[in-house]
A and B are shown apart, each in its own frame.
Chain A
């Protein structure tokens, strides 16, 4: 009797959680199909007339009205991916040292890595396990650009064309850079320190958990991400609101258009340490002020070589390798931006 009551409670819990997930998915599809805008619609003219303290409030309210569906969806789905993607299977392939490791590192791994707190340990783990510096670097470079949370927000804020370009360009350059860096003499020397480890197959034997518990931990992780990311996002929005109101659009139109625009966007994005979501928000403000699509792509791809990130990784792999991949990432960002500008001109 008691047991059946417990079962009923669990079923109810599962149904409620599935309902929440479905709700966000349906709302998102509705927004996409109905082509509602999920981004703030305030323009510089709207904002400039307001008292200083009111600007961020109005902007944020504007954002909250449109953005909650997108963010809710992003956090829920990120949680689900983190929970349901078979991690140990992927990690085995990623540390195998075979070419498939690059593919997994580029495509699938970033999906469950939405927080740097899982990224850096995995990166160093891959290297120490003898998986090779190539796939590890590919993973490190692809993760910020191709993670689900960033992708969803990029699609909603900047449009699917630029988001798709970002995913493809960042993916390809991550693989190329990973491979090229792993061929350099100093990377080879570094790799020699770690022989390939033969893992004992018996030491990992994952336990299967019931669905309601898995759903719960997926949602909990989504909530955890929200708690970590939203405060930074709010600070970013405050900055962006002033930016949007007062940044002279002549500056953007001079320096962030054409070939010069691509180069300067790639240069600017690097040292500026901004979490991906804020980078997207600033990107949106710049686009509204007149930044061209090619420059926007270069701006989005400029993330891997920001200074704090490089500092952390240099402790693991040393400055030489960091500088090599930083320069290559900059070249890749400029190159992709130029190609994208060309493509847009043609079509």
Chain B
């Protein structure tokens, strides 16, 4: 089972985007310990590819398996972990 996580933020990163990315990594590490593969990517909110994929989003946002789940706020590792587990 593979899960793809995309953290959508600004570059250079704002503090909240940075925090969300760190927390996504923490959540991913937890799942990887159980043998689930999690792939994390960082997207720039103003990049053409991001916009054609997701439209305009408020940052930071998080997309899992190509679907934006939450936008416009910093997320705890626990919340991200729960979102990831839903995909299993």
Q: Which residues of A line the B interface, CB within 8 A?
A: 82-83, 87-88, 91-92, 94-95, 112, 117-118, 120-122, 124-126, 128-129, 131, 197, 199-200, 202-207, 209, 213, 217, 220-221, 224
Contact = CB atoms under 8 A, between A and B. Distances in A.
B70 A207 contact: yes
B50 to A, nearest CB: 9
B31 interface: no
B57 interface: yes
B55 A203 contact: yes
Interface string B54-88: 11111100010011111111100001000100100
A202 B56 contact: no
B10 A199 contact: no
A180 B57 CA distance: 26
A95 B55 contact: yes
Given A82-B73, A117-B10, A124-B46, A207 B57 contact: no
Contacts of A209: 70, 79
Instruction: Identify the 10 closest CB pairs spanning chains A and B, nearest first.
Output: A199-B55, A117-B14, A125-B56, A204-B68, A124-B46, A121-B10, A91-B56, A207-B69, A87-B58, A121-B45
Nearest to B63: A203
Contacts of A83: 73
Given A117-B14, A121-B46, A213-B79, A203 B54 contact: yes
8 contacts: A87-B72, A112-B58, A118-B59, A124-B46, A129-B56, A199-B54, A203-B66, A207-B70
B72 A207 contact: no
Interface residues of B, number: 29
A205 B67 contact: yes
Contacts of B70: 206-207, 209
B16 interface: yes
Max chain B C-beta neighbours (<10 A), residue from A92, A117, A126, A213: A117
B74 A217 contact: yes
B51 A112 contact: no
A228 to B, nearest CB: 8
A117 B59 CA distance: 9
Contact of A129 (B16, B55, B79): B55
Contacts of A199: 54-55
